[in-house]
Chain A
Amino acid sequence: AQKVTQAQTEISVVEKEDVTLDCVYETRDTTYYLFWYKQPPSGELVFLIRRNSFDEQNEISGRYSWNFQKSTSSFNFTITASQVVDSAVYFCALSDPGNNNDMRFGAGTRLTVKP
């Protein structure tokens, strides 16, 4: 069954610390897409990254980086030198043909960055 697990419910760090948010997924399809979204207190989900199953290259965008490992079905997200503005709920999501390409979200990880 298609499933996304974000085992960390809440994480609290002090500014400038690095933090990694974990995401583990399950799918029977060989072609699928993984996403990360950020939800600040305002409520809007902000798109961060989209990765297809054939591209295992890690991605870096400024302080953000993503580590995709098919062998362990994980798509982890690291924030380097965290800032207070990074405080939000982060969602990992999976989309695959076996589920009509609908997006299934993990439960989210609430990140609090303290000054």
Chain B
Amino acid sequence: KAGVTQTPRYLIKTRGQQVTLSCSPISGHRSVSWYQQTPGQGLQFLFEYFSETQRNKGNFPGRFSGRQFSNSRSEMNVSTLELGDSALYLCASSSRVSGGVTDTQYFGPGTRLTVL
């Protein structure tokens, strides 16, 4: 099976712009989660999508949003970029079902976003 793929791998933006990152989960996985990784804050949970619905959301401002399509692919969007949004954004997929117990998350290679 192909792993989790993320595009683009690298992105450079300027403050105030917006950005959209894409994630394709492992075939058959319906749950997609997004994480932000920075040197200062570590790995932080952004949100999780399951069957096109956002199920959980971390403690991030409304500038961070996402969506999931019927084929389970997911996108996350960050509007009005700030310098502090520079980070590695990781996507993970799992076969976790609605209301089910935790299943293992498999991560993609990440998108490294630099905000100038």
Contact = CB atoms under 8 A, between A and B. Distances in A.
A18 B115 CA distance: 40
Given A101-B101, A102-B56, A91 B106 contact: no
B104 A47 contact: yes
Interface of A: 31, 33, 35, 37, 42-47, 50, 91, 95-96, 100-108
A107 B43 CA distance: 7
B48 interface: yes
B21 interface: no
B25 interface: no
Given A100-B56, A102-B56, A108-B42, A43 B110 contact: yes
Contacts of B23: none
A102 B43 contact: no
A49 to B, nearest CB: 9
Contacts of A33: 101-102
B88 A43 contact: yes
Contacts, number: 48
B107 A91 contact: no
Contacts of B45: 102-104
B48 A43 contact: no
Contacts of B106: 47
Nearest to A45: B107
B105 interface: yes
B48 A102 contact: yes
Given A102-B48, A108-B42, A95 B107 contact: no
Contacts of B102: 33, 95-96, 101, 103
Contact of B104 (A35, A96, A106): A35
Contact of A44 (B58, B104, B110): B110
Interface in B86-116: 88, 90, 92, 96, 101-102, 104-110, 112
Given A43-B110, A43-B112, A44-B110, A103 B105 contact: yes
